[in-house]
Structure 1
Amino acid sequence: MPLALELAAARVKALSSAQILERLEQRLPLLTGGARDLPERQRTLHATIQWSHELLTAEEQRLFARLAVFRGGCTLGAAEEVTEADLDTVQSLLDKSLLRQTQERFWMLETIREYAAERLEESGEAEKLRGRHAEFFLALAEEAEPHLRGRPREWLGRLEQEHDNLRAALDTLEASTETQLTLRLAGALSVFWYMRGHLVEGGRRLESALGADERPTGARAKALNGVVMMATYGAVPKPRAEEALALHRELGDARGTADSRHLLGHVLAEEGDFSRAQQLFEESVRAFEELGDEHFTLLATYALAGMCQELGDIERARALDEETLRRARDLNNERLEAMALDGLSGYARDEGRVEDAFSMNRESLRYWRDLGDVQHELDSLSRFAANHSVAGDAELAARLLSSSLALHEEMGLSVPLYQAGRNEATLARIRGLLDDAAFAEAWEQGRALTIDEAVALALGEAERDA
């Protein structure tokens, strides 16, 4: 029973061994009137936590209970703002093994947090603390959002670390009548959900928030953009995209209108209406330029290049991708640089410059992996499969392609139209090089790979037969 012993050992400075034993013996019999169906180990652990809690000062007990409002731990700053924690009391709970610390985060073992949560409910402060917790994490999400663009690693990592707290904040707001705050939080998290591949969860959260409050507000308009972002490559949300654009225009929100126009362009592209999508992306480039937003100007330029390519204007498409790469490097915008490299790699592959394509894709995939951008990682696996199929390595191409498709399925992600076309061509080349038995074996091997294993295989960091 390591935890019970640890809690008891934390008291050796204040109590003798005999006193510890006496107090434990006084606590354990009280369990006989409780839940008899609980395992003895669990009942004994609960008694030990209860005993340790009773030895706390009133101030320590109050903070112990309040800290249960956090899910997955918290920073000292969050604890200070939400629970009015002071460093001395935090240190005391650490010394008593009721609180843990890993680098800059403080957290509780789940068994201890559950006990603390019971005390929080008994205190009468639970609703107030949950409200302060939700306010704190709404502010964090809205602070983070503008940073999720050119070099978003730090803020993406911070939001991922706080994802359980952000979920809890959404739960709190959804359970209350604060429907506009729910829309604000869900809308602010949309880019994070999109970039980290939480599309199913994000879409569900956004649709729930939209269904709870249909007032034509800025918060609703932004959440509509978010739900379109979640579903761009799935069930095409054209009505939501059109509603978002109309509402932003009605509100006179130039920035929101530009975002909605850009997203509607992606929806139309996914429907195969490349001409109309091209027109919207042309308008988006101009709108973002007028707003002085260089990041989204390049994002729209990259999308415009894709439409030019789909419509057969390869010369202009390549020029736009080259322009995006140059400007992204000038701005030190790593994300747009990686996207432009992916775009340019396709021209190299189609021209038979496979080594150039591999070089560009390796550079971009290392970035996507470091960023944790799941959708781009899966797209990169498809690109590597295409490269290998052109180079004649059909077995490796089959493994990477099947891995990409299986991981899409596993994560509940749809394959974008542009990627599906590439995959069809890759599969045709593979089937022309492998017999049925060799193809089936390679395909099944690819389906068994985790995303980390598949990325390592693509980058040449793993043995092919490992």
Structure 2
Amino acid sequence: MRELPTGTVTLVFTDIAGSTRLLEQLGDDYVEALAQHRSLLRAIVARHGGIEVDTQGDAFFIAFAKASAALAAAVETQAALAADGLIRVRIGIHTGEPTRTEEGYVGIDVNRAARIAAAGHGGQTLLSESTRQLVGDADLRDLGEHRLKDVGELRLYQVGPESFPPLESLGQANVPLPPTPLVGRKRELADLLRLLASERTRLVTVVGPGGIGKTRLALETAAEVASAFDDGASFVDLSVVRDPKVVEPTIVAALGLRGELVDHLRERELLLVLDNLEQVVGVAPDLARLLEACPRLAILATSREPLHVRAEVEYPLRPLAEAPAVELFRQRARAIEPEFDATYDRLTELCERLERIPLAIELAAARVRVLSPDELLARLDRRLPLLTAGARDAPARQRTLRATIEWSYELLDDRERRLFSQLAVFAGGWSFDAAEEVCEADLDMLQSLVDKNLVRADEGRFRMLETIREYALERFAESGEAERVRSRHADHYVRLALRAERELTGADQHVWLERLATDYENLRATFEWYAGTPGNETNGLRLAAALVVFWFNRSLYRDGLHWLERMLETTEADATAARAGALWGAGFLWSLVGDGERAAPRLEDGLALARKLGDGAIVARSLEVIGLLAFFKNESRRARELLEESVEAARSAGDQWGLADALGTLGSIYPLQGEFDRAETVGAEALAI
């Protein structure tokens, strides 16, 4: 029997994230990559006194007598693999008193360690409360309580401050928390819960006009039903997406995944909530194929029109019934004016004029501070005679909602109207600083729009409901200021991206990754503006080059390639540092999706232009990726020469991020050529950086 530790033992499980994708990417070379991975882990484990209990496929089971040694081994493993960049592992650590057997260990503590590892993501190390108590002042992040399959709830901690997607724990409702209670949708909620409980129902589409309450009902449904799905429920807002091809990258980004969506969802039992699908209904066949490939996936969609696929169950959402409509008005009015009071009959008449549409009711209730119910009725009579002022080919409810928004707009003063229309330039929300810089907004005026329910505020961010934004966009187009404001909007987000480019290679990387992710829809809108505005193509190229590290860290490879290639194609005569950076970025991302044939010419062009411009950082980064491509083609000598040249170029340019990356990559190649001392030297320098 091996000399396995007994008593209190710290157990470690590791496995490669995305191993199926990696196997498809590397083909026959996967066997060698896996062998190198095993050799690396065994060397690290031995240095820290660990014992290999079991190895199956790409997974390791290791035991340590000391929790601190287990943690040190995990940290070194993640650092070494991050430097190489090819393989990412999830690591789970738990301390307990497992039962020792002839083969190794058994018991609940073994199961706990394995489930902790399974809850993580590539590059992430998780540990339990029992381990945390034994590792002193380690750099840990408390992730709270999580329910894991077969072992119940455990408090988990992450090693290091990096940002990762939500853990793969059971029954988590990863949906926004509505700020107000749901009013009057008990029957509809019960209907949706019943539909989603049926194994025969895989796709439910809540259909109705804007403002009818589709999103609110979907959120309540997801929160109620999440615990019935092993992997819970996740919400994806598609309101700012216009291209069906962008839907999958948006879902991937919203779920915090890496790689292909189907690979992550194939074995998961998840409710996916897709909100505002009407402008991308062309994605419906893709969703049908996703459901076929992922047998435990269910989709709850909201849309203004059905998707028309065979798996779909259409659920039309009607206006509120009379009593709930009155109750909604009363609740919203008393939130504005606590002393508000009116008879049931008067509020019934008012809600009927508003056709009992929730958004229309909320907008009207926002005026009770200055207008009585009788005055509200009178204004609606004048503003909406017979409710037919809208387009005759639009549904009546949409005409009513449009008229209600228009009525609210007419009650704004001139400065508020101007700001309201200009704020439509933002996609997916904005910060106050952005509104101040782009629209010259002041806080009082913005707060006034929030108070009047035309803008929503949420933890330092602002947004419009998409229905309201559509109306604001019409006013914006008529204002004569659209071009100027769009230009200011684009300039603001280019400055943000250029600053982020510098910060993303520093100590605050995780902060800037989150900041860019929060404003990613605005960045996409900026790309569209530059691509469609003659004379601004070079600015689009600067933006694309600045976002390469962001796309890499968030695994948005395809989205990044879409914009990089689009900007490169429109600026072929450009010979700037931005083009050199974009060429490197395109080559880098093509290599990450396994397309070396497209990567190579982009990298060679970028290298040539960077040499011509004297841009040492891009020279170094291009050489590194070209070196990696040579390595994967078994050109180890050429790969080594290119990587050594990359190291020197990065060192000369003062590019610490590029230097650390190139050193780490070189350190993974030296051992294959018997240069173990050199590997240790460059690895130590990379870790020091």
TM-score for the superposition, normalised by structure 1: 0.67
Distance 1:191 1:86 in 2: 34
**What residue number does 1:109 align with?**
465
**Alpha carbons 2:387, 2:396 under 8 Å: kept:** no
Letter in 2 for 1:147: E
* Unpaired runs of at least 5, structure 1: 329-466
Find out whether 1:275 has 2:634 as its counterpart: no
**What residue number does 1:154 align with?**
511
Letter in 1 for 2:497: A
Distance 1:140 1:30 in 2: 49
Distance 1:3 1:312 in 2: 70
C-alpha distance 22-214 of structure 1, shift in aligned 2 (>3 A): same
Alignment of 1:409-420 (within 5 A): none
**What residue number does 2:499 align with?**
143
Identity %: 48
**Alpha carbons 2:530, 2:537 under 8 Å: kept:** yes
* CA deviation vs aligned residue, 1:29-71 (integer Å, no higher than 9, x gap): 3752533443333222111111100010011000000000000
C-alpha displacement of 1:221: 1.1
Alignment of 1:427-466 (within 5 A): none
**What residue number does 1:457 align with?**
none
- Among 3, 7, 13, the alignment partner of 2:369 is 13
**Alpha carbons 2:663, 2:682 under 8 Å: kept:** yes
Distance 1:154 1:126 in 2: 32
C-alpha distance 295-218 of structure 1, shift in aligned 2 (>3 A): closer
**What residue number does 2:395 align with?**
39
Distance 2:384 2:672 in 1: 73
**Alpha carbons 2:588, 2:603 under 8 Å: kept:** no
Distance 1:22 1:49 in 2: 16
Question: Higher helix share goes to which structure?
Answer: 1
C-alpha distance 165-97 of structure 1, shift in aligned 2 (>3 A): same
- Among 186, 197, 202, the alignment partner of 2:544 is 186
Distance 1:315 1:138 in 2: 44
**Alpha carbons 1:225, 1:244 under 8 Å: kept:** yes
SS in 1 for 2:388: helix
Distance 2:632 2:481 in 1: 49
**What residue number does 1:27 align with?**
383
C-alpha distance 49-252 of structure 1, shift in aligned 2 (>3 A): same
Find out whether 1:228 has 2:590 as its counterpart: no
Letter in 1 for 2:377: L
Distance 1:316 1:13 in 2: 75
C-alpha displacement of 1:78: 0.6
**What residue number does 1:443 align with?**
none
- Among 299, 304, 326, the alignment partner of 2:661 is 299
Distance 2:671 2:611 in 1: 30
**Alpha carbons 1:275, 1:307 under 8 Å: kept:** no
* CA deviation vs aligned residue, 1:329-383 (integer Å, no higher than 9, x gap): xxxxxxxxxxxxxxxxxxxxxxxxxxxxxxxxxxxxxxxxxxxxxxxxxxxxxxx
Find out whether 1:198 has 2:556 as its counterpart: yes
SS in 1 for 2:530: helix
* CA deviation vs aligned residue, 1:413-437 (integer Å, no higher than 9, x gap): xxxxxxxxxxxxxxxxxxxxxxxxx
Distance 1:305 1:101 in 2: 49
**Alpha carbons 1:60, 1:93 under 8 Å: kept:** yes
C-alpha distance 148-117 of structure 1, shift in aligned 2 (>3 A): same
C-alpha distance 127-272 of structure 1, shift in aligned 2 (>3 A): farther
**What residue number does 1:164 align with?**
521
SS in 1 for 2:462: strand
C-alpha displacement of 1:295: 2.9
C-alpha displacement of 1:210: 0.8
**What residue number does 1:287 align with?**
649
Distance 2:363 2:586 in 1: 47
Question: Once superposed, which parts of structure 1, at least 4 consecutive aligned residues long, lie more than 6 Å away?
Answer: none
C-alpha displacement of 1:321: 3.3
Find out whether 1:175 has 2:537 as its counterpart: no
* CA deviation vs aligned residue, 1:208-230 (integer Å, no higher than 9, x gap): 11111112222211110111121
Letter in 1 for 2:654: G
Alignment of 1:37-436 (within 5 A): 37-151=393-507, 152-177=509-534, 178-215=536-573, 216-233=575-592, 234-236=594-596, 237-311=599-673, 313=675, 316-317=678-679, 320-325=682-687, 327-328=688-689
Distance 1:74 1:142 in 2: 18
C-alpha RMSD of matched pairs (Å)? 1.8
**Alpha carbons 2:427, 2:521 under 8 Å: kept:** yes
Distance 1:212 1:88 in 2: 42
**Alpha carbons 2:668, 2:679 under 8 Å: kept:** yes
* CA deviation vs aligned residue, 1:97-153 (integer Å, no higher than 9, x gap): 111111111111111111111100011111111111111101110011011124311
Distance 1:269 1:150 in 2: 28
* CA deviation vs aligned residue, 1:239-275 (integer Å, no higher than 9, x gap): 1111111111111222332222223223323433232
Question: Higher strand share goes to which structure?
Answer: 2
C-alpha distance 289-30 of structure 1, shift in aligned 2 (>3 A): farther
Letter in 2 for 1:205: W
SS in 2 for 1:72: coil
SS in 2 for 1:272: coil
* CA deviation vs aligned residue, 1:371-396 (integer Å, no higher than 9, x gap): xxxxxxxxxxxxxxxxxxxxxxxxxx
Deviates more, 1:168-177 or 1:304-313: 304-313
Distance 1:176 1:42 in 2: 33
C-alpha displacement of 1:13: 1.0
Q: Which entry has the higher C-alpha Rg, 1 or 2?
A: 2
Letter in 2 for 1:203: L
TM-score for the superposition, normalised by structure 2: 0.46
C-alpha distance 30-55 of structure 1, shift in aligned 2 (>3 A): farther
Deviates more, 1:314-323 or 1:267-276: 314-323
SS in 1 for 2:625: helix
**Alpha carbons 1:309, 1:317 under 8 Å: kept:** yes
- Size of the aligned set, in residue pairs, is 327
Letter in 2 for 1:11: R
C-alpha displacement of 1:279: 1.1
**Alpha carbons 1:301, 1:320 under 8 Å: kept:** yes
Letter in 2 for 1:273: E
Distance 2:669 2:557 in 1: 24
SS in 1 for 2:646: helix
SS in 2 for 1:232: helix
**Alpha carbons 2:617, 2:658 under 8 Å: kept:** no
